[in-house]
Amino acid sequence: MKVQFIVSIVGPDRHGLPKHLASATHELGGQWLNSKVIRLGGQFAALIRVEVPAGESARLREVFAGVEGCHVAFSDVRTAADAAVRTCALTVDAEDRPGLVSDITHLLQEHQVTIQDMQCHRMVAAGLGTSMFRGEFDVAVPGGVDLSLLIRDLEALGEHVMVSVDAAAPA
């Protein structure tokens, strides 16, 4: 039997750390199902969904937890799929303002939409004297949620808010 867990690890960036973690996973018969590895502010940051034989789970967790100087946390994964949930990509473009991300995530929660991936960017709009915001969200939408109402509510967050949805993505 195999088990899955998600590990988050943050700490000083150093050469070879992803290779070390991936090799340890492989040596114990496991694999990375999904991962997001980035460098933020000079720090190594990773979220990794791991599948490993049940008998090796504790050993692999020890390897991850033993990385010197890193903060490591684990969460077990429930593998039962919810067939009534659809996924889509949601993009929000707006004039930037304080609290915008908070307002967007609040509305997503109100509509019972779950964020699976979120990337936000701020750019200076040369000549306009303002900053622009772009939020890209991969979301899970329960079957009973009307996307047109969600879009309406998001666009009501400001005069210059535009929302686009690709209901065919991500897979």
Per-residue pLDDT, averaged over 72-83, amounts to: 74
> Which pLDDT score is estimated for 144?
84
Check pLDDT > 70 for residue 69. yes
Position 171 confidence tier, pLDDT thresholds 50, 70, 90? very low
According to DSSP, the residues that pair with 43 across neighbouring strands are 12, 40
**Residue 12, Cβ neighbours under 10 Å: how many?**
12
Q: Say what the pLDDT of residue 9 is.
A: 96
Per-residue pLDDT, averaged over 56-60, amounts to 95
The yes-or-no verdict on residue 79 having pLDDT over 80 is no
Mean pLDDT of 26-53: 93
pLDDT band at residue 80 under the 50/70/90 scheme: low
* Helix (H), strand (E) counts: the chain: 4, 8
Average pLDDT over residues 36-52: 93
Q: Using one digit for the tens of pLDDT, what is the confidence trace for 106-165?
A: 999 999 999 999 999 999 877 777 899 999 999 999 888 889 999 999 999 998 899 999
Closest by CA to 151, choosing from 86, 95, 90, is: 90
CA distance 168 to 32: 25
What is the pLDDT averaged over residues 26-47? Answer: 93
- Ordered domains of the chain (ranges, CATH): 2-76 (3.30.70.260), 85-166 (3.30.70.260)
- Residue 61 has phi, psi (to 5 degrees) of -60, -35
Alpha carbon of residue 40 to chain centroid: 15
